[in-house]
Amino acid sequence: METKLRELKTLLAEVNDLESAGAVLQWDQSTYMPTGGAAARGRQLATLARLAHEKFTAPVIGKRLEELSRATADLPVDSDEASLIRVTRRDYERAVKVPAEFVARLSEHTAATYQAWTLARPANNFAAVRPFLEQTLDLSRQLADYFPGYEHIADPLIDYGDFGMTAKLIRQVFGELRQELVPLVQTITAQPLADDACLRQNFPEADQLAFGAAVIKRFGYDFERGRQDKTHHPFMTKFSLGDVRITTRCREDNLGEALFSTLHEAGHALYEQGIRPDFEATPLAGGTSSGVHESQSRTWENLVGRSRGFWEHFYPQLQAAFPSQLRRVPLEDFYRAINRVQRSLIRTDADEVTYNLHVLIRFDLELQLLEGKLAVKDLPAAWQARYQADLGLCAPADRDGVLQDVHWYGGIIGGNFQCYTLGNILSAQFYEAATQAQPGITAEIAAGQFQTLHGWLRENIYQHGRKFTATEIVQRVTGQPLTIAPYLRYLRRKYGELYRL
Amino acid sequence: METKLRELKTLLAEVNDLESAGAVLQWDQSTYMPTGGAAARGRQLATLARLAHEKFTAPVIGKRLEELSRATADLPVDSDEASLIRVTRRDYERAVKVPAEFVARLSEHTAATYQAWTLARPANNFAAVRPFLEQTLDLSRQLADYFPGYEHIADPLIDYGDFGMTAKLIRQVFGELRQELVPLVQTITAQPLADDACLRQNFPEADQLAFGAAVIKRFGYDFERGRQDKTHHPFMTKFSLGDVRITTRCREDNLGEALFSTLHEAGHALYEQGIRPDFEATPLAGGTSSGVHESQSRTWENLVGRSRGFWEHFYPQLQAAFPSQLRRVPLEDFYRAINRVQRSLIRTDADEVTYNLHVLIRFDLELQLLEGKLAVKDLPAAWQARYQADLGLCAPADRDGVLQDVHWYGGIIGGNFQCYTLGNILSAQFYEAATQAQPGITAEIAAGQFQTLHGWLRENIYQHGRKFTATEIVQRVTGQPLTIAPYLRYLRRKYGELYRL
């Protein structure tokens, strides 16, 4: 068994190397690549992705996995060996079900759609992408059909990011959440809008970046095993467990942009940096699901980074970094500004309270499209109707409506959005468990200390990588399945206090 | 034939993509990678190199090449199709002659040697690398022996970088050159040393980099198809014909460091950026030899960038960029400072006149080692003796002697150094042909214009990529074989005037 396991790991490391090389090329494309490199870069990325897929779906891997499944059958289910085989086998079986020819066709179509969207969005021209999106919907259904036996056609697509979750389960959870959120948003937004003018002064970029970097270093982000660069859209990417990078974008007229995207991406990175080093270059070396990943970015961005205690410690430092802008702004005003609740049209600009309503709209529309209950041609109207119903707003243009997110135009329809709200729900559920186990966490944060929280998350979540599924992790860590109660408690306590509800 | 050619090109593009991905990963390693990424990066690079080699030496490529050789036999030898097949076949036949197992062993040994050298050089400890170097010599001879039928054992090794050149030919040319250079150096260095204190003031990095970038933009370096970053050692690298990057290093107490390395690497980059776009992703898309490549870096660095005419135009701009440092320094003093001739121990710091003596020493020692006439244990003493004989200098420590260059410790012994002096010789030979064909070039340079020179080089050299060999290019462009006469004329004219010889 030892020899076969070693052989399998060598084969998997090769796949990992090709995927990591692709990640480096993508990172470079977003950060430093000159425009002239675009055409060849697309081809290089396609080659790496194709070779990684070919290598991973090679029959020798299937054979080794089968042999090693038998050989590890008697090991405890949470042993490293059994976990590696189980998780790899799950990936393998998913990968071999989709013909390479289909993967290539989908990827070609996606690239063309993305290209069309980059022109259609500024031109506010949904009609231009409609035929692309119709084909995307067809391809998304075809993709699901490579996994027969599903209960809902979206289930196999949700599985890619959030293994074990189903449309039915998520729909139920999101339905309950919506029932609570819509009236909460109404109550809060009936009050006068908080003033965030203090965030909208001029803040030199270098000082903003230095402040953000100092904060995430305190969080525990290891700059010896990562770095931060600027990109159009912030992201986290990993080339190895020793090289987990983040990016941000900076607006000198908005203090929140770089700061909170930095804390957000650092949350993703803390997860990856915290994975057990001996999982390196295996399928275990990653976050266990999109939802759990997002729970960590939201924990460090919101539960920590938008909390009163956090700013009790850091606000004097922020004032010292920007004295002329913030010297005369009291902590309370700043705290209200960074937690201002406002119904808005754009998801990525939304506050903690309204954010999920944006997500729920998209999730429901995805399901309706896949179910055949909504035609692509009727999508803009359906979008408008839901924004009217849930947020009381009407987008003046599709550019700020159905064209706003890249997801449908850069991938498939299905499984794209649930992770954001699952992440919010889980962030509160995990955080409640953390503070129950370690009640000192809150006081530590107010003293600018994060070791206990970071240590607890690393011990209970990060180190395991993909060894346990999201469902298993939630149960292990909180003793319960996924539940919205802690999240609602968190929102009600924080915003109840802020808005004296 | 069309179909088979297309198929071959697809296979070659895949190899190219893997190699280009490796180049991106190497660039990242030198520019931005955090230290924690090192271990995995080594493995990733090895995987990409191995896969590229496997793909390139696949029998299907050999088969297609054979078929297409027959199919293109009647085409003109300089047709694109015949050239692609000829050049690819040459690479293929070389690649398949060396067993993959040997390549892996050599690469492993090289990595270990490099590691040992990085410690041995600062510790001035040749004994620590001696056993490594002895094995390197064995492996270098073995490598040569995969190419039986050579006249000199170094010939197959020289062939890697400078196809068509032989130890015999180079030895003869270098011997003639040495005969002229040694007395020239003696005459010049008998005179008082030029004063270069004006270069050794404080020059803020950002201003240095901005000035260098402005100059190479004027040369014709296309920043839309490239960029410049900082590294420990400057280099040029190419990810595609649309993405040719350079790096530099900057010392705030030395104006020459960043400036001339920028002009040098830009020269390499102009060559690659000038290759015909339809050669993209084929073996034709590269410089034809190390020597011809170096001729272009030296042209733009020295023949242009250290010329009096060039500075007649640019010196006022440099003074404007650094007014407090250079306002009171006359052009003539500056010109003498950047062309100061001084016998020194370190090759990379050497001036135009003494530089080749450093190269010749290394070239001769490589041959003696390969011939078995010099043992590795006697290398430090042999090094010292030649520096004494040729430059009248004795290195106080091996750190500044036999340990100074990375080449032997990061690769094989053989074929490493000839390109530098071939480049110098060729730079003058090409430049003389250029100015004979376009006599306006000199006046244009003195007006800060480079279009005619750049256009001539692109037309006659750059665009062809690897279509013609170095030998063919020299003959086509200058009507003669490689000859040292133009280079000696150039040195005698320039330094004769400077030193009133």
Instruction: Write the secondary structure of B50-74 as one string of H (helix), E (strand) and C (coil).
Output: HHHHHHHCCHHHHHHHHHHHHHCCC
CB contact under 8 A, B242 and A40: yes
B500 confidence band (pLDDT: 50, 70, 90): confident
pLDDT value at position B479? 97
Q: How far apart are CA B191 and CA A480, in angstroms?
A: 87
pLDDT grade for B395, boundaries at 50, 70 and 90: confident
Tell me which chain B residue has its CA closest to the CA of residue A281. B40
User: Which helix (DSSP H) or strand (DSSP E) does residue A388 occupy?
Assistant: helix A379-391
Percentage of chain A beyond pLDDT 90 is 96
pLDDT in tens, B477-488: 999 999 999 999
CB of A232 within 8 Å of a chain B CB? The answer is: no
- A344 pLDDT above the threshold of 90: yes
- Check A243 against B25: CB less than 8 A apart: no
| Position with higher pLDDT, B115 vs A142 | A142
Strand ranges, E, within B314-460: none
* Angle, CA of A444, A445 and A449, to the nearest 5°: 65
Say if the Cβ atoms of A227 and B18 lie within 8 Å: no
Best of A14, A44, A247, A275 to mutate (most B CBs within 10 Å, chain B):
A44
**Residue A121 pLDDT more than 90?**
yes
Chain B contact present for A230, CB below 8 A:
no
Q: How far apart are CA B191 and CA B181, in angstroms?
A: 16
Question: What is the tens place of the pLDDT at every residue in B34-53?
Answer: 999 999 999 999 999 999 99
Residue A248 sits at φ, ψ, to 5 deg, of: -145, 175
Q: How many CB pairs under 8 A join A and B?
A: 124
Separation in Å, CA of A213 to nearest CA in chain B:
15
Catalytic residues of B: 265
Dihedral angle computed from the Cα positions of residues B180, B186, B191 and B194, in that order, rounded to the nearest 10 degrees: 80
pLDDT, residue A49, reads 94
Interface confidence (ipTM) of the complex: 0.95
Q: Which of B27, B30, B35, B41 to mutate to test the interface with A (most CBs of A within 10 A)?
A: B41
Is B40 in contact with A281 (Cβ distance < 8 A)? yes
Whether the CB of A25 is below 8 Å from some CB of chain B: the reply is: yes
Q: Which of A39, A43, A224 faces B35 most closely, judged by CB atoms?
A: A224
Per the CB < 8 A criterion, the answer to whether A250 and A229 are in contact is no
Q: Hey, is the C-beta of A385 within 8 angstroms of any chain B C-beta?
A: no
In the sheet that A236-240 helps form, which strands lie side by side, from edge to edge?
A: A228-230, A243-248, A236-240
Give yes or no for a contact between A275 and A286, defined as CB atoms under 8 angstroms apart.
yes
Which residues are registered as beta bridge partners of A246?
Answer: A228, A236
Q: What is the C-alpha to C-alpha distance for residues B387 and B364, in angstroms, rounded to an integer?
A: 12
Per-residue tokens: A104: 């290539």
Dihedral (Cα; B402, B407, B412, B418), 10-degree rounding? -90
Q: How confident is the model at residue A100 (pLDDT cuts 50, 70, 90)?
A: confident
> How many other C-beta atoms lie within 10 A of the C-beta of residue B113?
22
In this prediction, residue B104 carries a pLDDT of 87
- Identify each DSSP E strand in B298-383 by its residue range: none
How far apart CA A85 and CA B305 sit, in angstroms, is 61
**CA-CA distance, A181 to A389, in Å (whole number)?**
13
Per-residue pLDDT tens digits for B158-175: 999 999 999 999 999 999
CA distance B270 to chain A (A): 14
Structure-token pair, residue B212: 């260098």
Angle, CA B37 vertex, CA B31 and CA B43 arms, to 5°: 105
What pLDDT score does A1 carry?
84
Cα distance between residue A364 and residue A178, in whole Å = 12
Across A356-367, average pLDDT: 97
Whether residue B48 lies within 8 A of chain A, CB to CB, comes out as yes
Question: Residue A33: its chain B contacts at CB < 8 A?
Answer: 243
Question: Using CA atoms, how far apart are residues A95 and A56, in angstroms rounded to an integer?
Answer: 8
DSSP-based three-state secondary structure for B354: helix
pLDDT over 70 percentage in chain B: 100
In tens, the pLDDT along B133-161 reads 999 999 999 999 999 999 999 999 999 99
Q: Which two tokens stand for residue B240?
A: 């595609």
Residues of chain A found within 8 Å of residue B221, distances taken between Cβ atoms: none
Which residues neighbour B328 within 8 Å (Cβ) at sequence distance 6 or greater? none
- Identify the band that residue A291 occupies on the pLDDT scale cut at 50, 70 and 90: very high
Phi, psi values for residue B437, rounded to 5°: -70, -35
Put simply, the answer to whether A225 touches B37 (Cβ < 8 Å) is yes
Examine the pLDDT at B474 and tell me if it is beyond 90.
Answer: yes
Q: Is A277 on the interface with B (CB under 8 A)?
A: no
Cβ of A281 and B43 within 8 Å?
yes
Nearest to B236, CA basis, from B263, B257, B208, B205: B263
- Separation between Cα atoms, residue A476 and residue A442, nearest integer Å: 22
The number of C-alpha atoms within 13 Å of B314 and in the hemisphere containing its C-beta is 24
Q: Is the pLDDT of residue A501 over 90?
A: no
Backbone angles phi, psi at A230, to 5 degrees: -100, 140
CB A47 to CB B18 under 8 A? yes
Q: According to the model, what pLDDT value does residue B222 have?
A: 98
Does A95 contact chain B (CB < 8 Å)? no
For B17-34, write each residue's pLDDT tens digit: 999 999 999 999 999 999
Answer with the residue of higher pLDDT: A107 or B300.
B300
Q: How far is CA B53 from the centre of its chain?
A: 23
The nearest alpha carbon in chain A to B16 belongs to A44
pLDDT of residue B351: 97
> Residue B428 has what pLDDT?
98
CA gap B301, A78 in Å, rounded: 62
Cβ–Cβ below 8 Å for B40 and A20: yes
The reported pLDDT for the residue numbered A97 is: 97
Phi, psi for residue B374 in degrees, rounded to 5: -135, 130
Can you give the pLDDT at residue A500?
A: 86
pLDDT at position B167: 98
The alpha carbon of residue A243 is apart from the nearest alpha carbon of chain B, in Å, by: 5
Bridge partners of residue A245, in order along the sequence: A237
B317-338 tens-digit pLDDT: 999 999 999 999 999 999 999 9
- The answer to whether residue B39 neighbours chain A at the CB level (below 8 Å) is yes
pLDDT at B100 over 90: no
| Res B402 pLDDT > 90 | yes
Q: Is the Cβ pair B37, A243 closer than 8 Å?
A: yes
* CA–CA gap between residue B251 and residue B347 (Å, rounded): 18
A151 in B contact zone (CB under 8 Å):
no
Q: How far is A244 from chain B (nearest CA, A)?
A: 8
Chain A partners within 8 Å of B216 (Cβ): none
Min mean pLDDT across A369-373, B114-118, B140-144 is at B114-118
Residue A248, SS3 per DSSP:
strand
Which residue from A minimizes the CA distance to B24?
Answer: A25
Q: Is B58 on the interface with A (CB under 8 A)?
A: no
- Rounded to whole angstroms, the Cα distance separating B131 from A77 reads 49
pLDDT given for residue A440 in this prediction: 98
Band (B396; pLDDT cuts 50, 70, 90) = confident
CB contact under 8 A, B48 and A17: yes
